[in-house]
C-alpha cells in the first residue's frame, strides 16, 4: 500500500551562533540575519520521504511565502519530493493562524492525501503550532511531538510521541497530521538526508507552481506589537574562600532564605 504524504516546510531565522544584536535601530530584524530550512520541518520531510522509500507513493511539499522565501521548496525537490506548491501570502507576514488557513485551503484543493507532516516548532516570529491549526481547519486527527512513526497501515498511523518522562504511542486514523519533533534518529548520526546530486542538477530550474488561494481573504487574530532587545544576563558574583567558615555560613543563609 502506498501513501500520499504532504509536508509543510518553512524558512526561518537562523539563530545559531547569534552574535551582536538581532535588531536594527528601528526595531526591525536586521537585514544581515540569515534564514535556514526549519530543522524540525526537515525532520518532517525526512519522515515523509522514508514512508515513500518504504511503501511507495508520493510526497508533496507546501510552503507559505514569496517566491524568494520558498527556496525550501527547491530544497525539497533536491531531496526527492515529487511535487511542490507555493502558497502566496501577499506582501506582509501573516501570522501562524492565517498561514494555516491558506495552507488548509491549498491542501484542500490538492486532492487526496493520507498523511501531513510538519515540524512541531513554534519559531521566532511565529506564535503557535502551525500543524495543529492546519489539522483543525482540515478537520483531521493530529498528533504532536512525534519523534518517529512506529507503524503505518490499514488506514492508521502509530506515532511515537515524546512527552516529559518518556514516550507514548498514539494511533490515529488516516488522514492524519503529525507535528514532528527532533529526535528522529538516536543511535547513528543519520540526520535528515542531504540533497541528491542528480536531482539537484535536474531540479535547479524547475518551476515552482503556486496554489490558487487568496491571501487577502484571510486575517490573523494575532499580530506582533513590537520587539525589544533583551540585555545579556549579567551575574553578580562573590568569591567565597573555601576555608572561611563564616563566609560559607553567610552564603548558605543567603541562598536558603526563601526555602
Partner 1 sequence: MPGENFYTENKDLKFLMDEIIDWKAIVDLKEKIGDEECPYDDAEEAKATYLGMLEDPVGDIAAKRFAPRAEEVDTIGCQYKDGEVIFPEGLKRNLQDLMDAQLMGMTIPREYGGLQFPETVYTAAIEVVSQADASLMNFFGLQGGIAETIMEFASDELKQQYLPRMSTGEFTGAMALTEPDAGSDLAAVSAKADIEAEIDPETGMWHINGTKRFITNGCGDVILVLARSEDASRKSGGRGLSFFLVEKGDTVKVRRIENKLGIHGSPTCELYFDNSPAYLIGRRGMGLARYTAWLMLAARLAIGAQAQGIAEAALQESLKYAEEREQFGKPIRQFPQVAAMLANMRVYTEASRALLYATSEIVDLHQGAERRELKEETKAYGKLAEALTPIAKYYSTEIANKICYDAIQIHGGNGFMKDYPVERLYRDVRITNIYEGTSQIQVNWGISRLVRGDLNEYIAGLAEKVTRNPELKAEVDKAAAVLQECLAFLKEKDVGYRELIAPHAVDIFIDVAVGYLFLAQAEKWEYKVEVARKFIHDMAPRVEMNRQYTLDALLVELNP
Partner 2 sequence: MSNILVYAEIEDGVVHDVSLQCLAKGREIADASSGKVDCLAVGSGIRAAAEGLGAFGAEAVFVAEDAKLEQYLTSPFKKVVSDFLKTNSYDLILFPATTVGDDLAPAVAEALGVACVLHCDGLAGDALTRLEFDRKVSTTYKAEGCTIASLKDGIAVAGAPDSSRSAQVSDVAVELDAASTKSKVLRRDVAKKTVNLKDAKIIVAGGAGVGTKENFSLIEELADALGAQIGATRAVVDAGWLPADHQIGQTGVTVRPAVYIACGISGAVQHRVGMLDSGKIIAINTDKNAPIFKIAHYKIEGDLKEVLPKLVKLIKA
Site string for partner 2, 108-147 (x = CB under 8 A): --------------x-xx-xxx--xx-xxx---xxxxx--
196 binds partner 1 (CB under 8 A): yes
Q: Which set of grid coordinates corresponds to residue 197?
A: 546530486
The site string for partner 2 over 173-202 (x = CB under 8 A, - otherwise) reads x--x--------------------------
- Number of chain residues interacting with partner 1 (CB under 8 A): 18
How many Å is the maximal CA-CA distance in the chain? Answer: 75
Q: Which is nearer to partner 1, 22 or 195 (CB)?
A: 195
Angle at 178 between CA 174 and CA 181, to 5 degrees: 155
For the chain, the residue count is 259
When computed from its CA atoms, the radius of gyration of the chain, rounded to whole angstroms, is 22
Beta-ladder partners of 84: 61
| Neighbour count for residue 246 (Cβ, 10 Å) | 8
Residues 22-51, mask of contacts with partner 2 (x by CB under 8 A): xx----------------------------
Phi/psi of residue 167, each to 5°? -135, 150
CB distance 111 to 86 below 8 Å = no
Nearer to partner 1 among residue 61 and residue 107 (C-beta): 61
With CB under 8 A as the rule, give the number of residues binding partner 2: 69
DSSP 8-state assignment for residue 91: S
Binding residues (CB under 8 A) for partner 2: these are 13, 15, 18, 21-23, 96-97, 122, 124-125, 127-129, 132-133, 135-137, 141-145, 158, 161-173, 176, 221-230, 233, 235-243, 245, 248-249, 251-252, 254-256, 258-259
Amino acid at each position: 500500500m502506498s501513501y500520499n504524504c504532504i509536508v509543510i516546510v518553512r524558512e526561518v531565522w537562523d539563530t545559531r551562533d547569534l552574535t551582536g544584536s538581532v535588531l536594527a535601530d528601528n526595531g526591525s530584524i536586521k537585514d544581515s540575519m540569515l534564514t535556514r530550512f526549519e530543522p524540525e520541518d526537515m525532520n518532517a520531510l525526512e519522515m515523509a520521504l522514508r514512508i515513500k522509500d518504504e511503501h511507495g507513493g508520493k510526497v508533496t511539499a507546501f510552503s507559505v511565502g514569496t517566491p524568494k522565501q520558498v527556496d525550501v521548496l527547491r530544497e525539497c525537490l533536491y531531496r526527492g519530493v515529487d511535487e511542490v506548491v507555493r502558497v502566496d501570502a501577499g506582501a506582509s507576514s501573516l501570522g501562524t493562524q492565517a498561514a494555516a488557513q491558506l495552507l488548509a485551503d491549498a491542501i484542500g484543493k490538492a486532492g487526496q492525501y493520507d498523511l501531513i507532516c510538519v515540524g512541531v516548532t513554534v519559531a521566532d516570529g511565529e506564535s503557535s503550532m502551525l500543524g495543529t491549526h492546519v489539522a483543525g481547519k482540515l478537520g483531521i486527527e493530529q498528533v504532536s511531538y512525534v519523534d518517529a512513526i512506529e507503524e503505518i497501515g490499514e488506514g492508521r498511523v502509530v506515532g511515537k510521541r515524546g512527552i516529559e518522562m518518556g514516550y507514548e504511542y498514539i494511533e490515529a486514523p488516516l488522514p492524519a497530521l503529525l507535528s514532528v519533533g527532533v529526535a528522529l534518529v538516536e543511535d547513528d548520526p543519520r540526520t535528515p538526508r542531504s540533497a541528491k546530486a542528480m536531482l539537484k542538477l535536474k531540479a535547479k530550474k524547475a518551476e515552482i507552481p503556486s496554489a490558487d488561494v487568496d491571501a487577502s481573504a484571510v486575517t490573523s487574530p494575532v499580530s506582533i506589537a513590537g520587539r525589544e532587545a533583551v540585555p545579556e544576563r549579567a551575574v553578580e558574583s562573590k568569591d567565597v574562600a573555601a576555608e572561611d567558615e563564616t563566609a560559607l555560613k553567610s552564603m548558605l543563609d543567603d541562598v536558603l532564605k526563601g526555602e
